[in-house]
Amino acid sequence: MKSGSHSLLFVAAGTLIAAPSFAADISIKITLPTIEGNGFRPPSRPYVAIWLRRADNGFAGDLAVWYQIEGHHRREGFGPPGNQPQNSRTPGGARWLNEVREWWADSGNRLQFPVDGLTSASRAAGTYELTFSSSDPKLANLPAGKYQLMVEAAREHGGDETVSIPFEWPVKSNQSGHAAGQQELGPVELALKP
């Protein structure tokens, strides 16, 4: 009995030693600037998409999408009522997600909204931090290579702006990057720790 349990323990220990350990923390800070209203209209909240591209600019994965969810005033969406038809794929404010143009071309046009664990309500001006671990399903199967963090914001009666920050995966040493928009996005910071 003892020799069998030692063998089992040895095999289990060997498996633990042989398996590569990889854990990383990823932090993304996004600042949405305060924008003055247009006449009597208060500024609308931007739609924001955060996703990954490979070094060859191919789509690698979505991290978060913030948009007007059902029940909010129309002013938080884009265009006049009836500008774009509602359908089951893009209910409520999701029908204007195609205004987040780069992300829409990469990924959004293939999704059905809302998307569990990806989409959530739009945000007011301020700084927001998103954190992910390497075990998060959005990153767990990301192949080794060079990537770009993409952040795009679009606003009704405003502009559409995209910034990118390069990084390498998996995270072997501390990495950081910074980008800033001119109008729709403030500073965007990326920090990766092994």
Tokens of 41: 């209209």
Q: Is the bond into 33 cis (omega within 30 degrees of 0)?
A: no
pLDDT surpassing 50 at residue 6 = no
Looking up tokens 């500024």 gives 43
What pLDDT does residue 91 have?
59
Joined tokens for residue 176: 């950081």
Place of tokens 């199967």: 141
CA distance 148 to 61: 11
Mean pLDDT to the nearest integer, 158-170: 95
* Per-residue model confidence as pLDDT tens digits over 128-148: 999 999 999 999 999 999 999
**What mean pLDDT do residues 47-60 have?**
97
Average pLDDT, the chain: 82
Which whole number is the average pLDDT over 57-83? 70
Average of pLDDT values for 67-71? 77
Instruction: Say yes or no to pLDDT of 97 above 60.
Output: yes
- Structure token pair of residue 21: 């350990």
Confidence of residue 39 (pLDDT cuts 50, 70, 90): low
Q: Does residue 170 have a cis bond before it (omega within 30 degrees)?
A: yes
The length of the chain, given as a count of residues: 194
